[in-house]
Structure 1
């Protein structure tokens, strides 16, 4: 069995905190983010944009940016909403959620923009 790596993510060190699975990987390029948004659309999930201040990253409550985009299939419109949220809240983390109508759950969640950590 291979060694399991311990990521030095600690609550006391905001710069070390991880968000979700993707945050352990190198930052995604614009093209890779676009592909993830296309995947959300292809799976029939409803996209929604949320944001929060970096110091509240570990809280379960994130602010909703407008209403979820029920039925939206245009990747460019979804990315435009993510960017609009980021421009209105430049210091905040912005994430994209993919809601599943049938299971009433989040099937996808990824941080698109990272706010400045303290």
Structure 2
């Protein structure tokens, strides 16, 4: 009988882009520009690594309704990371028309 592989927490995939190497700051900014250009509402969420596969992540402040500045979104991502250095931080783009998430990806992984 084949040996069963042990579960490894480091192999957890956290959505879009998780199979790629970490995005550079320029690539993250490009995704934010795309999110804003689609008319989506940016929102920041965070969670402890041991709960990353749960469905519920904590929301960092309210969604940034009408935000047009990528720098403002980046500032909120970084503020969340400073406030919760041991958490994963992700960016969500809410599509008001379809009332769903247009994009969701982890920007900062915990330490």
TM-based fold match above 0.5: yes
Q: Which runs of 4+ in 1 moved over 3 A?
A: none
Matched, 1:26 2:25: no
Higher RCO structure (Cα 8 Å, ≥6 apart): 2
RMSD: 1.4
Aligned residues: 107
Instruction: Tell me the SS of whatever aligns to 2:94.
Output: strand
The equivalent residue for 1:53 is: 48
2:89 counterpart SS class: strand
Instruction: For structure 2, list consecutive stretches of 5 or more residues without a partner in the other structure.
Output: none
What TM-score, normalized to structure 2?
A: 0.92
Q: TM-score, normalised by structure 1?
A: 0.87
Give structure 1 stretches of 5+ with no counterpart. 1-9
Cα offset, 1:65, TM superposition = 0.2
